[in-house]
Amino acid sequence: MRIAARLSPIILLVSLIASAVSAQTPTNYLFIPKKLYRMPTHFGPSTGPRQGENGKKFANNGVPKSTRIEVRFLTDRGKLARLLPEGFAVGGEPVVTVFASYTTEIEWLAGRGYNVLGVTFPAVFKGKQDQAAGDFLLVLWENLTDPILTGREELGFAKVYADLPEPRVYEGETHAIASWMGFKFLDLTLKNMQPVALGGQPSPPPEAENAILTGLLHYKYIPKTGDWGEADAAYPVITPSGGGNGVLLEMARGEGTVQFHRARWEDMPTQYSIVNAFAELPIREYRGATITRSTGGKDLSDQRILR
C-alpha cells in the first residue's frame, strides 16, 4: 500500500504529460479545401496536369509538341451502337477513327512526353438537361501511368496501358504498332500523304443556353468497393470544344489501313475483349488518313458532367 501510494503521484504526472503532448500533436491529416487529391492522399495535394507544384497552372502555350496520325473507316452502325451506354446514340455516319499521338515537352511532366492510341466515332447524347454531340472515346491506350491515373480519376477518360513505340517511317509510308506485354494487337499504316494548305482557325462561337454542347464524349465509371457490380461513379462527361492554346502547324492527307489482331485471354487477360470488339468491326470502306503536327493545348480543367 505504501509503495502504491508513493507511485500514484508519479503515474498521475506521466498521464498528464502524455495527455498534454497528445493534445498538442495532431494524429491525423486534414484535406485542404479546394485542393486536388488522388491516392495516395497521405502526402498532401497531388500534382498533375491541372495542379502543379505549389498549385501552379500550366498555360500549354507553344508546348507540348505533338504528331498525330489517324485512319478512318466506315463500319456497321449496329455494332457501334452496342458499344454505347444509355443516353447515347451513333451520330451521323458510322465512321471509326483510330488515332495515335506522340507528344513531347509536356509542362506538367517537366518536359517529358508520352504516347497515346485511341478509338472514336461520332455520337450524340440526350440527357434530362443536356444535349451534346461529338466523337465518343471508346478507349485511350497510353504508355505512362501518370496520365492514365489523372485522366481516369479526374476526367473520366477510358484509359488503359499499352506499349506504344514511335512510328516507323520508310519510303513514304508511316507504320505504327501497339502491343501489350509482347502481344502486338494493332497495325496502323499510312501512305501517299500529301500536304494540305492550312486556312484560318476561327474560334467556335460561344454556346448559348440550352444549345447542343460539342466536344469529346466519355462515360466515367468507378466501381464501389465491396459492393461488386455497383458504382461509386457512373455518368457521361464531355471535353468541351475550343479553349486552350492549341495551334495546328502542318497537315497531310492520304490513304491508310488499320488492323486489330484478335487476342486470346492468355494474350491480354484484362484487355482481350476490347481488342476483339474492334477486330470484329467490318471495314466496309476506308475514309482516308491524316498526319498533323501541332503545339500547345489546354489542361482540360473545363471537363464537365453531362446531366
Whether residue 7 is predicted with pLDDT greater than 80 in this model: the reply is no
Q: Which residue ranges form the domains of the chain, and what is each CATH number?
A: 64-196+211-305 (2.40.400.10)
Task: With beta carbons less than 8 A apart as the criterion, state whether 190 and 173 touch.
Answer: yes
Cis upstream peptide for 195 (omega within 30°):
no
pLDDT tens track for 23-77: 566 689 999 999 999 999 999 999 999 999 999 999 999 999 999 999 999 999 9
Average pLDDT, the chain: 93
pTM of the model: 0.90
Q: In a 3-state reduction of DSSP, which class is residue 270?
A: coil
Task: With beta carbons less than 8 A apart as the criterion, state whether 299 and 36 touch.
Answer: no
